[in-house]
Chains A and B, each alone.
Chain A
Amino acid sequence: MASAEELAVIEKAKVLMVGAGGIGCELLKTLALTGFKDIHLIDLDTIEVSNLNRQFLFRKQHVGQSKAKVAREAVLKFKPDLKIEAYHANVKNSDFNVDYFRQFNVVLNGLDNVDARRHVNRLCLAAGVPLVESGSTGYLGQVTVHVKDRTECYECQTKELPKTYPVCTITSTPSKPVHCIVWAKDLLFGKLFGDKNQSSDLVVHTTDQNTSAATEDAEFFNLKDGETFESYACRVFDGVFGHNIEVALKNEDTWRARKRPRPLHINEVCSDSKRMRIDTLTSTANGSSEHTVSAARMLGLNNHQEVWSLKENASVFLQALELFHATRKKEFGSLVFDKDDQLAVEFVTAAANLRASCFDIPMQSLFEAKGIAGNIVHAIATTNAIISGLIVLEAIKLLMDSLDDCRTTYCLEYPRRRMLLMPAELSGPKSSCYVCSQTPLCLEVNTSNTKLKDIVEKIVKGKLSVNSPIIMQGSYLIYETGEDLEEDMVARYNQNLEKCLDSFPTPIVDGSILLLEDLQQEFTCSLQIKHRETFDEEKEPDNMVLSGKFSTAARDQTSLGLVQPAVDNNPIQAIEDDDEVILVGDAAKSGIKRKSLEEDAVVSGKRQRTEAS
């Protein structure tokens, strides 16, 4: 329970929650029960059936509705005096700008993707609002605290990104179940039911008349006139698992150091008479609706945890392909794999297993294949509940102004040092961090009547002494100078100089950030634009005001990846090796390292040297 003192602060606090999913549902409930009264909630997702087992604020009748809005209503039912603003929107939407973030005492993340986390991190830094960041994967979870200039920001550490696989491995030389699943889901499924115009490298091409791959023909995957669903499905089977493998086998060099795959033909797997088959048309006519259609169920394969035999996989493949044609034809051309689409999961499981069998790779159960295909580690409600409890505890410490007591807490699957919740001290900001080590300069300007030229002359060259400026807005270079530029580029850039800030294709308006570089000097800074209508002619003759810390950092090459960075991929592992871990309740002194003054001096010194050269 919170103390009276804490409760007073909690009741006055205004918090922003980003994400109303697995962690979000638990978090909103915990905030409400802890006594928080003023909560904003942003989530762009709608509720799906697969959410219902753990996102307990949602019920079946809410499927398809906004997570944020339904979560709000559900909590208001047991805490009607709460003020909850729910937005069914993307947090990256420009409505949620720096000024929006400034109104909160603390921001709490319950997000599921790195991209949105980075965005919130940057806005919190810009607005100077503390952030409690969280994440969970199965039994594992983590909660940490980010405060501008005092702790690491979310981007100080390089994050491990989800793995992608080289196309060659997927199309020619799979060696793991996941390679086959990616092949079935991204290549085969797309080729059969998705956008035909999307280029795909599934097809093996050859000019040799006698060995031309069956699937080379653009028409191969289409149902021919007069062809029955069954003979179509068998033809696709033989082409994809038989003929294409035979063609691939002709690349002798490929198999010199690898195990040669084995082609599969339908008649070898199960002869015509023994094929498990249920008449697609009659059984679908029996009232099963489109989205509950299941080839596996028709074939009596109801245990999703069991690995099907080769013959069963072949039967599911054929049956699913027939069912797609019989019941889902109108979606062809626009279907994308979705882990909640039962028939799609069955088809992908069977196709991946058949390919796995060709390459002598272990087959997977539908349940496992679905997990891999959807990149899912099955979420655990209890982990999310623990994580949201920890988020609220850290938030309270921040509100009580006790940053020194804040910790990063890891939630573990197996106890270490007899603990399942492992706390660690927060680290100070990394001076090499590209995101938080930069203090953006602020430029107040009237964005509707100031031209880019005015900024280049008065500020960039005049005040910041940049010789050959390069100006970038997001992913776009909007201005460069230099003798090496082609004439047509010079002409375009000269046109840009004459444009008013707010008339750029991506308008430069209040809250926009420009990145400024020098072609020759090692100079980089960002310029945050603040719109102001009028200026005092006498005191502000430039009609713009530049403010902010003036010493800009020479860019650290490590943070740009130019020097290979030492990546800390496994924070949990790192902790285990670290003897500095602090136990719960340990009244150790603050571990937060402040950015040293010497370091700042070195950085501005570099800049001076560059100028002098």
Chain B
Amino acid sequence: MATGLAQARLAEERKSWRKSHPHGFVAKPEAQPDGSLNVMLWRCTIPGKEGTDWEGGSFPLSLQFSESYPTKPPVCAFPAGFFHPNVYQSGKVCLSIINEGDGWKPSISVKQILMGIQDLLDTPNPASPARHEAYLLFIKNKTAYKRKIVEQAKKYPSLP
């Protein structure tokens, strides 16, 4: 049917990503078995920053857009159970720039979202914990927290 504002903007985001994107990142509308790409659902991977405990990992993240995009932000989610103080058990990321009524602006690009989430990996925000277990470990037992993060990075190795 008709292509709306959300789709047109996502086509624009796809174009701008194809023209240039940060090294090590992947962001791509989901491929359908029939050979088309669904622009409403993007499959991305975020590399852990070098020199942090996240280094060596490439973390899968999905961006689910709605018809109300870009007025409303996409839902950004890691796989369920992803270990991070600001990631819910369901995998949903809690970050101000992707929260409607908080830091979200229609002008924020897919690139900015992904880089914002990459930043969040190594610098959790203790003021808005989404997962108590990860939060407590981060606050109370840095060594055990670090061990968990390094372990998780191994679970999602970067492709050569």
Contacts and interface: CB of A to CB of B under 8 A. Distances in A.
A155 B6 CA distance: 13
Interface in B32-69: 32, 34-40, 67-68
B132 A206 contact: yes
Contact of A564 (B2, B107, B139): B107
B84 interface: no
B120 to A, nearest CB: 13
A100 B99 CA distance: 41
B107 A207 contact: no
Could you tell me the dominant secondary structure of chain B's interface residues? Answer: loop
A138 B90 CA distance: 38
B136 A167 contact: no
Nearest to A200: B90
A119 B31 CA distance: 27
A327 interface: no
A168 B32 contact: no
Contact of A166 (B19, B70, B101): B101
A213 interface: yes
A563 to B, nearest CB: 6
A477 B3 contact: no
A164, A165, A485: most-surrounded residue (chain B CB, <10 A): A164
A119 B4 CA distance: 10
Given A122-B2, A201-B89, A559-B5, A565 B106 contact: yes
A10 B38 CA distance: 46
Contact of A515 (B8, B130, B136): B8
Given A434-B5, A505-B32, A163 B101 contact: yes
A560 B128 contact: no
B147 to A, nearest CB: 13
Contact of B31 (A163, A472, A492, A559): A492
A493 interface: yes
Interface string A479-517: 010101100010011011000000011000000010101
11 contacts: A164-B101, A201-B88, A201-B130, A251-B132, A474-B1, A496-B36, A505-B36, A560-B8, A561-B9, A561-B71, A563-B107
Q: Which 6 pairs across A and B sit closest by C-beta, in order of nearness?
A: A561-B106, A492-B35, A199-B90, A561-B70, A166-B99, A477-B37
Interface of A: 92, 94, 115, 118-119, 122, 155, 158, 161, 163-168, 171-173, 199-201, 203-208, 213, 247-248, 250-251, 253-254, 256, 434-435, 470, 472-478, 480, 482, 484-485, 489, 492-493, 495-496, 504-505, 513, 515, 517, 519, 524, 526, 555, 559-565
Given A161-B71, A166-B94, 18 more contacts: A115-B67, A155-B5, A167-B92, A168-B99, A171-B130, A200-B90, A201-B89, A203-B89, A206-B133, A250-B136, A254-B127, A254-B128, A470-B11, A474-B1, A505-B32, A560-B8, A561-B106, A562-B9
Interface of B: 1-5, 7-9, 11-12, 14-15, 18-19, 29, 31-32, 34-40, 67-68, 70-72, 80, 88-92, 94, 99-102, 105-107, 126-133, 135-137, 139
